[in-house]
Amino acid sequence: MSRRLTLFRAAALALGFGFLYLPIALLVAYSFNASRLVAVWGGWSLHWYGELVRDDKFGAAAWNSLRIAAMAATLALLLGTCAGFAIERFTRFRGRAVFGFMLMAPLVVPEVILGLSLLLLFVASQAWLGWPAGRGLMTVTIAHATFGCCFVAVLVRAQLAGFDRALEEAALDLGARPFGVLWRVTLPGISPALVSGWLLAFTLSLDDLVVASFVSGPSATTLPMAVYSSVRIGVTPEVNALATVFLGVVILLIAGAFSLIARQERRRLSS
Amino acid sequence: MTGWARRRWLLIAPPFLWLLVFFLLPLGIVAAISLTQPADTIPPYTPLITRGAGGIEIDAGTASYRLLAQGDGRAYANSLGFAALATGLCLLVGYPIAFAIARAPKTWRNPLLFLVILPFWTSLLIRVYAWIAILQPTGVINRALEALGLIQAPLLLIYNGFSVVLGLVYAYLPFMILPLYGSLSQLDESLLEAAADLGARPAQVFWRVVLPLSLPGMAAGALLVFIPAIGEFVIPDLLGGAGTPMIGKVLWQEFFDNVDWPAASAVAMALVALLTAPLLLAQRLVERPREGET
Amino acid sequence: MPLLEISGVGKKFAAVAAVDGVSLSVERGELFALLGPSGCGKTTLLRLIAGFERPDAGRILIDGSDVTEMPPYRRPVNMMFQSYALFPHLDVAGNVAFGLRQEGMARRRREARVAEMLALVQMADYARRRPHELSGGQKQRVALARALAKMPKLLLLDEPLAALDRKLREETRLELIGIQERVGTSFVFVTHDQEEALGMASRIAVMEHGRIAQIGSPGEIYERPATRFVADFVGAVNLFDGVVVAGSNATGLKVEGIDAPLPLPDSPELPAGTHAALAVRPEKLRLSAERPEGAAIAATVTSVNYQGGVSVVHLATSSGHRLKAQMASADALGFARGEPVWAGWQAADGVVLRQ
């Protein structure tokens, strides 16, 4: 059966990837369109990138988003690594079922629920405890770290499951203390998961519109919120240009990180 | 983990408490607020617990839920229907892709998988936005069809159920492909050969061996698509119209446009109720010990 | 007409010939072994017979009809996989019934056949178990029952015993022979274990680098190996390389470092000056303190290796040749390390191998 279906399989791949990438390709192409009308080709132009640079509403929002994403991803990495270890290595502790549920549910619970519930928490906590004083970068960061850490935990857990426990036992046998083993053997061993986990949390935060819309304050508009308000008005080539820049940055970041991981992996295998 | 027996709470406690405070507790607050009434105060709802003359008084009512029951049922039907349809289509579209990747030469598999995951790393908002330019009356498809002389008036491709389902399939396809690939790539080649050896033609090998063995992947993929699709906001908001409300959008409108926080909370509770069964199923799938590994 | 006839079959992977010009035939009722080291092409040959690979050259005939281009699902042969390849989503009965359902056999007949097959392999009590609930030996039985259920003309077995532990392997070997005799189907099995091949097969094909080195009964393969490779691979052997010289009453083999030419068995006609090798099995060597009659070499005991009922005495000559002699352990007790001995044998027990 392996040879017969080759044509079918090639077609499946071509159609599938066409479906996934054609819209993005069109979006990128039309960002270089001289015409103001979408879908009417007016020749190549960088006009809309110029507009984008002049428009400072996106700049401030992008700076907010980057700061939030960096902080949220770092927090998510710390929490998610602990969580991934706990759920993978400790098979029995009180509350493990609840813990497992809390780690899995944010992955799939609709963003509107995450956003609304966190906002109501912040409002109630402000009324009862006086904290947080207002909503802004910090509340968005907390919200993004919350779902980010669940994604990190999934990646860490998966890599830990494939990690050879004998390496840890060998380190203990050679006199390393449990914390030393964690720091010098286990964490380096799962470093690909840590890198991709941070990156995933970072891009998820950068992409999030819904949760941020709920928990952000007037002073902390994020990039997706700014994009959303212009998209609601209509398709404009300027948003195409912004989207292209955004896609370019994310893809460069990811390609860089993955080639780093791949190179490390090769070095480890060859040495 | 070796040597951690007593100190393991150092690892468990931070994420556990964090999720307790920032995930589980807020869901409880949503439940509480859904029992209050809207008010012109800040925050815009009547307090649930007040310290009155006779001690602590609780003012809870089900007005929001009654409103919900009387309101438009279409949003719920749409959410379930669109999510189910999108799940089915994702399965139909995703299965051949996952199968092709799993059967591709070893060196191709990781790059192909990377290409499947890549869109997931880029903004959903932007990817959905890209479809507007394609589907709208002055969009790429209509212009092209007009230029070819195939149509006189633009086709209505957007702001209806079609565009919402298309958007859902587009956005959630990677979630279907990955678990499917996971179970298909673990399929032992010798099982397929054994089936052929026992007289099964390629199509029968697929129906009697490949498909049953990829059921766990299909179930996981279906849940990963179905659950978030039910509560999706961005896609029905940007690609849907007045005739295609979904729960996520209703919640958003109650909250932002009507500033009715109790109603929004009641919608959220209804959404949670809808999702409970598939969520519990999903957790059982994740936690189930893998059997049949020989 | 032989049941299986393979003529001039070749198969290349990339530029490497896995199977190279192989011809052989298997008769009805035979238990035929393909024996060789890993990478010799024996498994590829089996997969060619099953139809999982298409040969680049040659024909494969089963029961007189050409199946070279036939896909595996049409061939009247079934295979027992080395990994057993039991379907994890089906229970034991479902696995055994798989091929029968494919044939469209009526339910009642199918169930009767499944019961019969499970009884044959003594797994009748396990019909509703899933594969992951079975031990290695039980899986092996189910795999055998599944492959036999369709009553194939020819059963192929890929390393049928390799996944079992040693004790179980020996029991299962006898069972396989018994089952083969009862069902009468021809078995072709692949193994890298010479003991398994010698103990089970009615005939053996020894393979080396994709080619057949020798085909014969276990006795022929062991007693009369055709090539150095066969002599060396099947059982232990003492090999002497040298040049044939004409002696006073018989031809001999002049081996460097050994004074007298070694007497050759009289069967082959070898002109003087030919390069040849003499093979002598370790159990044919007799050790004695005095020089015996006939062929003998002076050597020193280097070690005695106790293996239970038998022992192997390792020897070295003054010129550096290493020899092995096998004998009952009681006989080996008398030899100590460093002791000078004579190693002698009957000239007829040696085998001449042309280069």
Q: pLDDT tens digit string along C226-283?
A: 999 999 999 889 998 888 887 766 778 888 888 788 888 875 677 788 888 899 999 9
Examine the pLDDT at B237 and tell me if it is beyond 70. yes
Top-confidence residue, B100 or B5: B100
Beta bridge partners of C244: C253
Asked which of B155-169, B280-294, C233-247, C334-348 is least confident by mean pLDDT, the reply is: B280-294
What would you measure as the largest C-alpha separation in chain A, in angstroms?
Answer: 70
The separation between CA B280 and the C-alpha centre of its own chain, rounded to angstroms, equals: 15
Does residue B207 register a pLDDT over 60? yes
- Tokens 């994420």 sit on residue: B15
Answer whether C98 sits within 8 Å of B294, measured CB to CB: no
**Averaged pLDDT for residues C191-203:** 93
Asked if residue C285 has pLDDT above 70, the reply is yes
User: HSE on the CB side for A119, CA within 13 Å?
Assistant: 25
Q: What confidence score (pLDDT) does residue A71 get? A: 96
Give the DSSP H/E element, type plus range, for residue B84. helix B74-102
What gap in Å lies between CA B288 and CA C2, rounded to an integer? 53
Among candidates C250, C235, C240, which has minimal Cα distance to C352? C240
Residue C281, chain B, CB below 8 Å: the answer is no
pLDDT of residue B61: 77
Q: Which pLDDT belongs to residue A217?
A: 84
pLDDT at B52: 67
| Cα–Cα dist C183/C113, whole Å | 13
Q: Which tokens go with B215?
A: 């059921």
Residue predicted with more confidence, B189 or A146? A146
Residue B94 has pLDDT above 90, yes or no: yes
How far apart are the two ends of chain B, measured CA to CA in Å? Answer: 26
Q: CA-nearest residue of chain B to C150?
A: B198
pLDDT at site C290? 87
Decide which of C67 and A57 is more confident: C67
Average pLDDT over residues A35-48: 77
State which H helix or E strand residue A254 sits in: helix A237-270
Q: Distances in Å between the alpha carbon of C269 and those of B24, C67, C251?
A: 93, 43, 9
The residue written with tokens 């032989």 in the block is: C2
> Mean of the per-residue pLDDT values for chain A?
86
Reported confidence tier of residue A54, pLDDT bands at 50, 70, 90: confident
Residues of C in contact with B201 (CB under 8 A): 71, 73
How many angstroms separate the CA atoms of C252 and C261, rounded? 5
Identify which of A216, A223, A209, A205 has the alpha carbon closest to the alpha carbon of residue A139.
Answer: A216
In this prediction, residues B212-228 reach a mean pLDDT of 91
Mean pLDDT of C181-207: 93
Chains with 3+ CB–CB pairs under 8 A to A are B
Q: What's residue A3's pLDDT? A: 44
pLDDT of residue A209: 93
CA distance A241 to A227: 11
Q: Which of A146, C349, C300, A9 is nearest to B21 (CA)?
A: A146
* Bridge partners (DSSP) listed for residue C212: C207
The Cα A81–Cα A148 span in angstroms is 11
pLDDT over threshold 80, residue A41: no
C287 has which bridge partners? C343
pTM for the model: 0.81
The pLDDT assigned to B3 comes to: 59
Rounded to an integer, the average pLDDT of A19-25 is 91
CA distance C348 to B211: 64
* pLDDT given for residue A126 in this prediction: 87
- Work out the end-to-end distance of chain C between its first and last CA atoms, rounded to an integer number of angstroms: 35
The label of the residue with tokens 């770290």 reads: A145
What single-letter DSSP state applies at residue B4?
-
Condensed to tens digits (0 to 9), the pLDDT of residues A79-121 reads 999 999 999 888 888 888 899 889 988 888 889 999 999 999 9
CA angle, C99 then C102 then C105, to 5°: 90
3-class secondary-structure state, position C208: strand
CA gap C102, C105 in Å, rounded: 8
CB-nearest partner of A209 from B18, B125, B202: B125
Contact C132 B294 (CB under 8 A): yes
CA A106 to chain centre: 14
CA dist C72 and C61 (Å) reads: 14
* Region of poorest pLDDT, from B18-27, B31-40, B190-199: B31-40
Residue C149, min C-alpha distance to chain B (Å): 9
Residues 6+ apart with CB under 8 A from B277: none
Q: List all chains that touch chain C, counting a touch as 3 or more CB pairs closer than 8 Å.
A: B
Residue B282 scores a pLDDT above 80: no
Q: Which two tokens stand for residue A219?
A: 């002073």
Nearest to A38 among B122, B139, B224 (CB): B139
Most confidently modeled of A248-262, B129-143, C177-191? C177-191
Rg (CA), chain B: 24
Q: Which neighbouring-strand residues pair with C5?
A: C25, C61
Predicted local confidence at residue B294, as pLDDT? 31
* Terminal-residue alpha carbon distance, chain A: 38
Mean per-residue pLDDT, B200-207: 91
Place of tokens 């499917």: B180
Q: Tell me how far apart the alpha carbons of residues A163 and C213 are, in angstroms, rounded to a whole number.
A: 45
How large is the average pLDDT for residues B170-179?
A: 93
Contacts of B193 in chain C (CB under 8 A): 50, 52, 72, 79, 81, 85
Cross-chain residue pair A13–B124, CB shorter than 8 Å: no
Helical spans, DSSP H, in B187-260: 189-197, 202-205, 211-213, 215-230, 234-239, 247-252
Hey, is B289 helix, strand or coil?
Answer: coil
- Residue pLDDT, tens place only, A237-265: 888 888 888 888 888 888 888 888 888 77
Shortest Cα distance from C337 to chain B (angstroms)? 49
3-state SS track over C115-172? HHHHHHCCCHHHCCCCHHHCCHHHHHHHHHHHHHHCCCCEEEEECCCCCCCHHHHHHH
Note which residues in 204-243 of chain A have CB less than 8 A from chain B: 206-207, 209-210, 213-214, 224, 227-228, 231-232, 235, 239-240, 243
Closest residue in chain A to residue B230, using alpha carbons only: A110
- Give backbone dihedrals phi and psi of B148, rounded to 5 degrees, phi first: -80, -5
Instruction: State the pLDDT at residue C341.
Output: 92
H-helix or E-strand spanning residue B27: helix B25-33
Specify the amino acid at residue A116.
Answer: L
Q: Which of B5, B13, B21, B283 is nearest to A92 (CA)?
A: B5
Fill in the amino acid letter for A34.
A
* Nearest chain B CA: its distance from A27 CA (Å): 6
For tokens 């077609």, name the residue.
A11
Confidence band for C108, pLDDT divided at 50, 70 and 90: very high
Separation CA B81–CA B161 (nearest Å): 10
pLDDT score recorded for residue A39 = 64
Per-residue pLDDT band at C22 (split at 50, 70, 90) = very high
Tell me if A250 sits within 8 A of A63, measured CB to CB. Answer: no
The predicted pLDDT at position A143 comes to 96
Q: What percent of chain B has pLDDT over 70?
A: 93
Question: Which residues are bridge partners to C290 per DSSP?
Answer: none
Q: Who has greater pLDDT, A6 or C291?
A: C291
- Confidence at residue C238, expressed as pLDDT on a 0 to 100 scale: 92
For residues C97 and B255, give the distance between their C-alpha atoms in angstroms, rounded to a whole number: 60
Instruction: State the helix-helix crossing angle for B161-185 and B74-102, rounded to 10 degrees.
Output: 40
